[in-house]
Structure 1
Amino acid sequence: MWEENKILTDFAAIIPCHNEEENVPLIYAELKKTFAKLPDYRLITWFINDGSTDKTLMAIKLLQSENSDVHYIDMSRAFGKEAGMYAGLSTAKADLYCILDADLQDPPSMIPEMLKGIDDGFDVVGAARTNREGEPPIRSFFANMFYKIINAVSSTPIIPGARDFRVMTKQVVQAVLSLSESQRFSKGLFSWVGFKTKYLPYKNVERQHGKTSWNFMSLLNYSLDGLVDYSDAPLTLVSGLGLVSFIGATIALIFIVIRAAIYGDPTAGWPSMVSIMLMMGGLQLLAIGIVGRYIGRIFLEVKNRPIYIARKIE
């Protein structure tokens, strides 16, 4: 009788999907295998179909027809992973929440250890990769540089190698959802809200099937968004460059005037003038570009558009 009335902890697994038809049944099978060993938890799986052009939605519906704990959100178009995570977190109702990639790069087998961390008093237990094996060297280099730069210029620490893969309490999720900006950088949001957090190290796991939708340019833009969202250092940098250029130009002007007064005005060379003009023009364009990035973020935020639009939630 006691077992029948036992109160289970609802655990919501949030899985954004974009063209993951082959991986959908695999990630769900791994989750079921993991939770078969966790009798105190009730698994609720939420797949977010983010504008997939393959048969991802069909694969999700097939799982749902056979399993009552499977739900899905079908987005009206591809809004991106950030919107997908927000959609899942804001729709699911549970005691604990977990975000996973559908490609099995986030091993469900780590969830029991994450839950142990929650039981030990942590509000968030996440996963951080200790290596980047399987990635192109150039991508790994720039990823490592990004973490070094953003942690040097931002007051919000970003853990190197940290994944979106994490288990969170309801209180943490509510805090994240209260940050209503439409241009989201979740790694920063998770860190900014605070709470007692622990990261579990693990080695990089290559995706099972399909091709990642993250190319070099999309990752670069994502990194720039993170820098703009959590630091005004780029603005300070261009201000400093402008000040240094002004002081240098002033010193050079004084030198030229004094030299002309003493030795006369020698024939000026146009190559040096062109070089100086190009240098100053480049600095100005750099400054305008950085300021424009901030203005662009403001422009997108003040429109107050919804973070996502769902075609169907079931």
Structure 2
Amino acid sequence: MNHVTSTADDTAREERGPVLSIVVPVLNEEKAIEPFLDRTVASLEATAKLHPSVCNSYEIVFVDDGSTDATVAAVIAARQRFGDIRLVMLSRSFGKDAALSAGLEFARGAAVIPIDVDLQDPPELFSSLVGKWLDGAKVVNAIRRDRKRESFGKRFTAAAFYRAYNILAERPIPREAGDFRLLDRDVVDTLKRLPERIRFMKGLVSWAGFPASEVYYDRDERVSGRSRWRFWQLWNFALDGITSSTTTPLRIWTYFGGAMAFLAFGYALFIVSTTLLLGRATPGYASLITVVLILGGLNLVALGILGEYIGRIFNEVKGRPLYVVSSTVGFDDIRQPSTDVT
């Protein structure tokens, strides 16, 4: 009788899924897989000892974003050594936020922790994240306290982006917070219901509005390889983040256009008054052509901003899937989520 009860409990636990899901998007990171798992599994075991009532099970969900090296083989080989490791393979590279969305779709944990495989974000922070979660926070943001090991250009552009975003966006995001955070199941389920294709995950988490807490850490250097983010990619990422979160840039140009129209009307009155009083037109071809060129340039900038929004409308209207899953590993014994309308 006891054996039957134990089996039923195990079945119920399996249906509920693990307590913690670690979601790891990867792209050409074959050399980082084993060092990452060494530290991650050790941290998960340490977290289970600190919080035995809730952290008695976990899974690590890798999402391969179209790697061309041996990343997939490295993850599959690691399944022989480590615990519950699962793999979702996308048909091509769809971008980090799409891969992260795929990981959230497949993750089954009561809490989900997205983390990069390069170990710049330390897995040893898991216990602190879980502690804040147990205290009632639905979102626990890991805030980068020290980024001195990164280049000056990256630190400067990151600071400028966070400052600009929080000025423009309706829902600000925590400064120096990346994708490394803990998300409660309620938050994950909410993110999965959001239909947009151009996803800025930091902004979506903030938009959801769940109670949040923070932990602070110093960012380390990469354990292998180098960052694939280039200036142009970062620029496009910033544009996606701002245009997907707010229409303030369009509103700014509405006000600016109104102000310029008012000034133009005033200048026209000045020209008419001068001509009537002095009996001659005011000379100034150089100043006139300068004004025309400036206004023409501003019009092109405004059209460019409008085009950014129209382009995103075009992508949303097409309604294509956010990503395409080619195959999975480690999900044979559980029910897989539907990806037909993702």
TM normalised by structure 2 equals: 0.87
Shift of 1:204: 1.9
Which residue does the alignment assign to 2:43? 34
Structure 1 gap ranges (5+):
none
Q: 2:128 aligns with which of 113, 116, 121?
A: 113
Q: 2:19 aligns with which of 4, 10, 16?
A: 10
User: For residues 170 and 273 of structure 2, what CA distance do their matches in structure 1 show?
Assistant: 47
SS where residue 298 of structure 2 aligns?
helix
User: For residues 240 and 280 of structure 2, what CA distance do their matches in structure 1 show?
Assistant: 50
User: For residues 285 and 82 of structure 1, what CA distance do their matches in structure 2 show?
Assistant: 30
Which residue does the alignment assign to 2:67? 52
Which residue does the alignment assign to 1:162? 177
User: For residues 209 and 276 of structure 2, what CA distance do their matches in structure 1 show?
Assistant: 63
Is the 1:238–1:286 Cα contact (8 Å) retained in structure 2? no
Which residue does the alignment assign to 1:254? 269
Is the 2:24–2:114 Cα contact (8 Å) retained in structure 1? yes
Which residue does the alignment assign to 2:29? 20
Deviations 1:64-108 (A, max 9, x none): 243451111111110011011110110122222110001001111
SS where residue 213 of structure 1 aligns?
coil
Which residue does the alignment assign to 2:152? 137
Deviations 1:215-244 (A, max 9, x none): 122112111211112221101111122111
Percent identity reads 34
Shift of 1:43: 2.2
**1:185-200 matches, cutoff 5 A:** 185-200=200-215
Which residue does the alignment assign to 2:250? 235
TM normalised by structure 1 equals: 0.94
User: For residues 286 and 218 of structure 2, what CA distance do their matches in structure 1 show?
Assistant: 54
Number of aligned positions between the proteins: 313
Q: 1:174 aligns with which of 180, 183, 189?
A: 189
Shift of 1:15: 0.2
Structure 2 gap ranges (5+):
330-342
2:240 counterpart of 1:225: yes
User: For residues 83 and 260 of structure 2, what CA distance do their matches in structure 1 show?
Assistant: 66
Aligned AA (1:30) = R
Aligned AA (2:43) = T
